[in-house]
Amino acid sequence: MPTRRHRFHRSPWAMLIALIASVPAFYDSMMPTPATWATWMYVVSGFVVLGWAWSARRAARLVQHGGDRHRQLGDDTHTWGMRPSEERLDWFLGASLLLSAVLPQSNVSEPALVWRLVISVLMLYRLLKISMPLLTETGLARLLVLGASVLGLCGIGFYWLDPGVKTVNEGLWLAFSTAATVGYGDVVPSSTASRVFSVFVVLLGYGVLSLVTASIAAMFVGTQERKVEREILRDMHEQLKTVHEEIAQLRAELRAELRAARQASQEDQRKRQ
């Protein structure tokens, strides 16, 4: 059994929470009056990501130098796709989050904004890689809850970041129209932070909505396939029933012919006697 100090790395939730928690800090740095908590969010998220990477490195060393017990631990550590390239990416992301905490605010420094944008793209990639096993073979109900949660958080994000969005309802409508790539134009992002936010809403929201629509389509296709399968099975049963009847009839005919042949043979023997 793996030791307790390696269980941190096996579960994806610590990494997921750390990456998601750094998102508000990224957008808060673009606000006119940034909050102090954004810096601490970067610090906490950075240390969590570094702890995740350290746990992966230590587990890999135990697998390399250990016996069967450590090999079993190594199988567990690769459950969430921890390849060497992803491990190096985690080290880089953890250090980058800590660096983002000491950089100037994005609303006053363009290089700091570009740096945080690059890091946010890498974080989105890592977030999707970690959450991919959680989305495989997910039912329609869970996908609907996930889609509603994503749109709800994006709507709150637009309400928080964009001064032109006066209510949460407008934020939710803007999140849906952005994620669905409809773009009615009645409510649009008007600030730098909300425009940057809309880019990630399109990437994340459109992907989640695609999963929902694909699951609904698969449900209808699966229903049709099951109907076709039932019809095929019904035809097969009918054909098998016909075959069984024909075989039974042939057997009866063969028995009758055998009885007739025996009787003819017995009569021939009597005549010879």
Provide the whole-model pTM.
Answer: 0.59
Angle 169-174-179 from CA coordinates, rounded to 5°: 130
3-state helix, strand and coil shares in percent for the chain, rounded to the nearest 5: 80, 0, 20
Q: Who contacts 136 (Cβ-Cβ below 8 Å, separation ≥6)? A: none
Distance of CA 81 to CAs 87, 127, 236, 254, Å? 10, 12, 45, 66
pLDDT per residue rounded down to tens, the chain (273 residues): 444 444 444 567 788 888 888 888 888 888 877 777 778 888 888 998 898 888 878 877 776 665 445 445 444 444 444 577 788 888 999 999 999 888 888 878 888 888 888 888 888 888 878 877 666 656 777 778 878 888 898 899 899 888 888 899 999 999 988 888 887 888 888 888 888 888 888 888 877 888 788 878 777 777 777 777 788 888 888 888 888 888 988 988 888 888 888 887 787 777 776
Within 10 A of 49 (CB to CB), how many other CB atoms are there? 27
Q: Mention every residue, 6+ apart, whose C-beta is less than 8 A from residue 126.
A: 15, 19, 86, 89, 90, 93
Cα angle 127, 132, 138 (rounded to 5 degrees) comes to 130
Non-local (6+) Cβ contacts of 90 within 8 A are: 15, 49, 50, 52, 53, 56, 126
CA geometry: angle at 19 spanning 17 and 25, to 5°?
Answer: 105
Contact 210, 240 (CB under 8 A): no
Integer-rounded Cα radius of gyration of the chain: 33
Eight-state DSSP code of residue 32: S
Q: Three-state DSSP class for 186?
A: coil
As a whole number of Å, the end-to-end CA separation of the chain is: 89
Strands (E), 155-244: none
CB 26 within 8 A of CB 45: no
Residues 144-192: pLDDT tens digits? 887 888 889 889 989 988 888 889 999 999 998 888 888 788 888 888 8
Rounded to 10 degrees, the C-alpha dihedral 117/197/195/99 comes to -30
Where do we find the tokens 């890091």? 119
